Structure 1
Amino acid sequence: MKHFFNIAKIITSISVMMLMTLGTVFGIEGVEKNNIQKFDSKPIKGESNGQERFVSIDFNNVDLNVFIKFISELSGKNFVVDDRVKGKVTIISPAKISEKEAFKVFESVLEVHGYSTVEAGEVIKIVSSPDARTKNVETYLTDEGAESTDKLVTQLIPLKYADANEIKQLFAPLVSKNSVILAYTQTNMLIVTDIYSNIQRLLRILSAVDVTGIGREITIIPLESADSSKLVKLLETVFKKENPAVKKKSENGREIAFVADERTNTIVLLASEADTLRVKRLIRMLDKDVPRGKENIHVYYLEYANAEELAKVLQMLPSKTETADAKGKKAPPVVSGTTKITADKATNSLILMADKDDYLTMEEIIRKLDIPRSMVYIECLIMEVNVEKGFELGTEWVAGEDFTLGSKDWIAGGGFGGKGQYSNIGNLVATANAGAATFPAGYSMGVFGETIKVGDMTFASLGALINAMKSDKDVHILSTPQIITTDNEEAVITVGSNVPYLTKTGTTSSSETYNNYEYKDVGFTLKVTPQISKDGLVRLKIYQEINKLDQAAISQLNTGEITPTTLKRTIETTVIINDKNTIAIGGLIDDSITKSESAVPCLGSVPLLGYLFKSISESGEKTNLYFFLTPHVIRGPEDSETMKNNKKADIEKLMKEGRIKMYGGSSGQLHSDDENMGKN
């Protein structure tokens, strides 16, 4: 239920009696004894549009509804009062105030009790403040202005520089309990519903807060030397690091935004005035010509190392961005994670994208790796020896036994126990006249010094041994390959042929016979990988393979009985020997069967009866495969020149002996009078 107070003229005496009953005293230009209200006709100073009365108000514990009725009579305004409006009013006012000011006091009393006035046409509603927010409250813009009252109003506050969300957070503790403050970011405006006197206080605070340098502005920054896209990435790294603090600013609209315009090589910046100054200052420092030789892209031309292989090594260097491993240990940082390394195969160079510090670090590493590597010249001898021939070699065979190295001149290992008289591997050169060891029938391996002793004879090198053995009918030299390779690089020698063999014979529908052939690689393959140590030792990783067709199978193949059989013998080992020493490996036994046939001409080919006029014999032979290998370390041009002169001297010696002849002309071809010598 709501009460309606009419402004109809109320008899003064009735009002006086009511106010006396309530204990209320009104005085106008003085208070009479019977506390009857009088009105002063003296106009307000500065007013020209009529006279206004002054009144002194003193209320002591008066019912709020009675006070509302009094103000209605005093101001002549109509009120609609919610039946929930209750309370007591006490006002102490020793000074005289005007009627207009009395109405402001009335609004303040309502605000203290949690009520507000809402104008609705010719009447004024008095409702609770929370309900008043949704009623037809007066709405003002900042520049419209109004007198300071405790009336509930809605104020629209457009902001010039400050961000609406930030000002909302700033004003939230300053508004009344039942007030509302909203931020409208599209127009950067605040909407505040509160008593107008408090809104005026907020506006005074805002005048000091909403100043230049707070909001964001758009700035176009042209560049002279720097690239806009690259510079934007750098600026984003500096000003927008991914951390919670920056993310919070971004949500509030205070982040710094960069956009690169590649067409005009400019940067579009959205930031506050203060941040804009910081960005401009940094851009001025970065937008400069890079002095020649100080660019981030460097080209390093290699002299000895392989660019592609070295690039892989450098890319495996630990960087500053690598995380700890499973054990919690972290590799020491060498270069930053942004460093890029690319190999140019055509020029054998490295393209490095790195800053100055990282480049200096990698340059030092490259300089230490880009060095001339030593080379190894390898002499090999592969021969088959009849098992029945006594082939004594001046070395001792060991099988995992302990032995001393002496002065680091000797090292050996592997194989079966031999018949030698040595208790350990010593300097065989110094003991060349001592007892000799005989190669065992099984697989074995040993090491010579710089000379090779066979039986009672000592040979200075593999070449001398080859010359001595080439005329021995019990020794068949298969190959004497020679090759030179770089330290820690594999060298491969392959000598052989691709042999066809019949796999299928058939007849077509037209009674034509056809044959299908396949091919097999037969011959000799040697793979050697040397590794040179600082002490002059050479580590050799050896793989040797010999493939040949079984002659017995080939003879049967001609009759169409079976397909050919390939005999394969391989050796794979790793040894460590001194420079110019010889490693000998033996014990690969091969059984060969040779068939021979002799017949009386013509009669021996007669079917059936021909067997009476011919004889067939079959002989077998066992051969032992021996493999000799001598490395010669070439550490520089002097060693290379010495090696060349030695080989040249060998050729000249053979020419003097008539073993090779030089054809006329400039072809430089050699002619061999000896088939074996030509092969060797």
Structure 2
Amino acid sequence: MGKYMRLFIVFALLLVSAASLPAQEGAPPAAPPSERFVTIDFNNVDITVFIKFISELTGRNFIVDPRVKGQVTIISPGRISVEEAFKVFESVLDVHGFAAVQSGDVFKIIPSPDARSKNVDLIYQEAALSPEDKVITQLIPLKYADAQDISKLFAPLVSRNSVVLAYTPTNTLIITGVQSNIQRLLGILNRIDVPGIGLELSLISLKHADAKKVVTLLETVFRTKRAPQQKGEVDAQMQFVADERTNSLVLLASEHNTGRIKQFVELIDQQTPRGEDRIRVRYLEYAKAEELVKVLQDLPSKQGEAKAEPGKTPVVSGTVRMAADKATNSLIITAEKEDYAVIEEIIRKLDIPRSMVYIESLILEVDIDKGFEIGVRWRALGETNIQSDSGVFGGSFSGGNDAIGEESIAEPGAGGFALGVISGAIDIVTQAGTITVPNLAAVASAFQSDRDVHILSTPQVLTTDNEEARIVVGRNVPFRTKSTQISGTAETFSSFEYRDVGLTLKITPQISKDRLVRLNISQELTALTDDPENSDFRPTTLKRAIDTTVIVEDTDTVVIGGLIDETFTQRDAGVPCLGDIPNLGLLFKTRNRSSQRTNLYVFLTPRVIKNREDAGSVYGEKRKEIEELREGRIKMYDKNFWAPDEGIPVPPNPVR
């Protein structure tokens, strides 16, 4: 019986071992702790429960001090590794004022003040530290700075649970504290442990100013890159470091420069009144606020509401707001100091007195049947656009060179326009001979009694650079626009509107630095005419227009001719009474029909006025012209004729 029992036990053991073999071969190997990932999410749990969780997760042994108490809340929806979970554990202990100190295979969890006297990790080298929150002791041998001074400097920069000691025999710094904070102190130490003789360390606490901005300002004000160093200049070994956590300034400099810098920091560490550094009012002297604000608002910025166009470099770094006040001609600007400095420089360059142009014009009408020519050097400048109701007017000019040479403006064709430029005196050829006159005033005087030359107008206008000047010579004529018969009566109700009929001249000058004047000329001539087809809506007009651009020198004269007009007249003469008899009266009267063709010339002479002397020169010339014309004398025109020593009066104030 015992024999069978032994065989049964052996057989049962074989079955158990055989059944366990496949399970052992098919089971995957356990993953190492570093490759495992967990989710840590605790809400107000006891810290001892959290310590037990970490112990089971990492396999580490913990001895918990009875003083370790508190509640833990961790929000971490993401998955982290086991090693990262242990770093989170050390951070949680640091937040609650505790630390994990390793002693062999066991970690002691004790209050942080007691940790610095325990067996914490000791690091001798200045190697880069990982940002962990475990307590360590770092030994830092200093090369240039004094360990005692550094320990005093770092004392306010560490927590109350950390300690900074100086060992003077070896000039070594001993720091016990959280590893992440020691790493920050090493970054500061690398900037101040530099070669220097007679340098001292200082810690300047700031009340209002930002430490980082103060360092930037000090670098700009006190740094010097000139060599060799001159007397009174700041030494090149000066160092500034900003500690953003305490908003303090760490300074390494000589005793003399330290005092200077402290005085400077005291001056700038002031509380800025609310709104003073952002809102400013800039009064303009010459430019228009409404126009200038449009230019400034188009400046590209990094944080502007409108997206900057590709290729545009931001001019201002922040958000800038601007508005124009028309009553005071000022700009209201909201911007930071740095941005306002950029805007102020732009305003200073744009808000300048602009040059002016004095344009003297002469409009005269000449009978084509009479001999009348003006010596002109033809120039094809800019582009000319000619429009006409009848479509018979001349061609266009383009380019910038002399086109024909010395010619005359005679009859350019059937209504064609002619354009030329005269430098110096004006030569006019008539049937009696050639007359040379110095200026437009002399032309008007020479032909004021000539029946074949009619002086229509001699307007003169003063305009600013790039501003349009408008000259209108004509009359305001009523035009019937609508005619309505009143129902049930024979009366008719008509509507009229008044329009300008005559010559309209628009000139926009643009002055170059060489006193060349670019003239954008727009000329329109309208004349009343009889149109049998539109007898119900009389009067009707014939319109002739020209748009052109020319470039002339200062005091040159632009001549526009070829504005041809033809008028028809009819005169009846006969025996009184008998000539009025229907049909039979034709035997007792005569009828004369005649036509007259006239050519309209427009002379334009620009005079550049850039300063008070130019204005006084124009004033003196006009005064002398009036005196000479009164005496009946005409002299050759000379740019240097009016010498400064002739006592030309100058206006008391600059012309604006």
Give TM-score scaled by structure 2 length: 0.51
Specify the alignment match of 1:346 in structure 2. Answer: 327
- More relative contact order in 1 or in 2 (CA 8 Å, sep 6+)? 2
C-alpha distance 574-160 of structure 1, shift in aligned 2 (>3 A): farther
**Conserved? CA contact 1:440–1:587, under 8 Å:** yes
- Could you say which residue in structure 1 is the equivalent of 2:569? 594
Residues 654/628 of structure 1: CA separation in 2 closer, same or farther (3 Å cut)? closer
> Contact 2:445–2:629 at 8 Å: present in 1 too?
no
The equivalent residue for 2:37 is: none
Q: CA deviation at 1:392?
A: 1.8
Q: CA RMSD in A?
A: 5.8
From the superposition, tell whether residues 568 and 212 of structure 1 become closer, same or farther in structure 2 (CA, over 3 Å): same
* Correspondence for 2:443: 465
CA distance in 1, matches of 2:488, 2:549: 59
For residue 531 of structure 1, the aligned residue among 498, 510, 513 is: 510
1:494 aligns with 2:472: yes
| Local SS of the residue matching 2:322 | strand
> Residues 422-461 of structure 1 correspond to what in structure 2 (within 5 A)?
438=410, 440-441=412-413, 442-455=416-429, 456-461=434-439
- Letter of the aligned partner of 1:164 in structure 2? I
| Equivalent residue, structure 1, for 2:520 | 541
Q: Distance in 2 between matches of 1:492 and 1:174?
A: 82
Asked if residue 310 in structure 1 is aligned to residue 292 in structure 2, the reply is yes
Please say if residues 372 and 428 of structure 2, whose CA atoms lie closer than 8 Å, have aligned partners that are also in contact.
Answer: yes
1:163 counterpart = 2:92 = no
Structure 1 position 584, deviation (Å) = 0.9
Kept after mapping to 1: 8 A contact 2:485/2:492? yes
Q: Does the alignment pair 1:395 with 2:363?
A: no
* 1:631 maps to amino acid: P
- Which residue number in structure 2 is paired with residue 297 of structure 1? 279
Among 533, 540, 550, which residue is 1:575 paired with? Answer: 550
Deviations 1:11-47 (A, max 9, x none): xxxxxxxxxx9xxxxxxxxxxxxxxxxxxxxxxxxxx
Q: CA deviation at 1:396?
A: 3.2
8 A Cα contact 1:501 1:518, kept in partner: yes
- Determine the structure 2 residue equivalent to 1:380: 361
Offset at residue 572 of structure 1 (A): 1.1
Which residue in the other structure is 2:604 paired with?
629
Query: What are the Cα deviations for residues 242-275 of structure 1, in whole angstroms up to 9, with x where unaligned?
Result: xxxxxxxxxxxxxxxxxxxxxxxxxxxxxxxxx9
Greater Cα offset, 535-544 or 632-641: 632-641
Please point out which of 514, 517, 527 is paired with 2:492: 514
Q: Distance in 1 between matches of 2:79 and 2:403?
A: 96
Q: Which AA in structure 2 matches 1:459? A: V
CA distance in 1, matches of 2:537, 2:292: 53
Q: 1:472 to 1:351 in 2, by over 3 A?
A: same
Deviation for aligned residue 1:140: 9.8
Equivalent-residue separation in structure 2 for 1:171 and 1:294 (angstroms): 52
SS at match of 1:396: strand
**Equivalent residue for 2:346?**
365
Residues 618, 164 of structure 1: alpha-carbon distance in 2 compared, 3 angstrom cutoff: same
Greater gyration radius? 1
Tell me, what secondary structure is at the counterpart of 2:443?
Answer: helix
> Is the contact made by 2:511 and 2:518 (CA closer than 8 Å) also made in structure 1?
yes
Give the 5 Å matches for 1:81-230. Answer: 162-166=72-76
* Alignment match, 1:190: none
Residue 368 of structure 1: how far off its partner (Å):
1.9
Q: Which amino acid is the alignment partner of residue 557 of structure 2?
A: T
1:484 to 437, 462, 484: 462
Code of the aligned partner of 2:279: I
1:496 Cα deviation from its structure 2 partner: 3.2
Separation in structure 1 between the aligned mates of residue 73 and residue 302 of structure 2, nearest angstrom: 40
Q: Sequence identity of aligned pairs in percent?
A: 46
| In the alignment, structure 1 residue 620 sits paired with structure 2 residue 595 | yes
Distance 1:161 1:293 in 2: 45
* Unpaired stretches in structure 1, ≥5 consecutive residues: 1-20, 22-61, 64-86, 88-138, 151-157, 176-199, 215-224, 235-274, 402-413, 417-421, 427-434, 658-680
SS at structure 2 position matched to 1:470: coil
* 8 A contact 1:397–1:415 mirrored in 2: no
Whole-angstrom distance in 2 between the partners of 1:167 and 1:626: 89
Counterpart position of 2:30: none
Post-superposition shift, 1:644?
2.9
Number of residues paired by the alignment? 424
Task: Name the stretch that deviates more: 358-367 or 520-529.
Answer: 358-367
CA separation of 1:513/1:460 partners in 2, compared to 1, >3 Å: closer, same or farther? same
Letter in 1 for 2:510: Q
Q: 1:163 to 1:423 in 2, by over 3 A?
A: closer
Task: Give the whole-Å Cα distance in 2 for the aligned partners of 1:463 and 1:638.
Answer: 22
**Do the aligned partners of 1:584 and 1:627 also contact (CA within 8 Å) in 2?**
yes
| Structure 2 stretches lacking a partner, 5+ long | 1-5, 7-11, 14-22, 24-44, 57-67, 86-105, 116-132, 135-158, 162-177, 179-206, 211-242, 250-266, 383-394, 633-656
Distance 1:603-1:521 versus aligned 2 partners, 3 A rule: farther
Partner SS for 1:518: strand
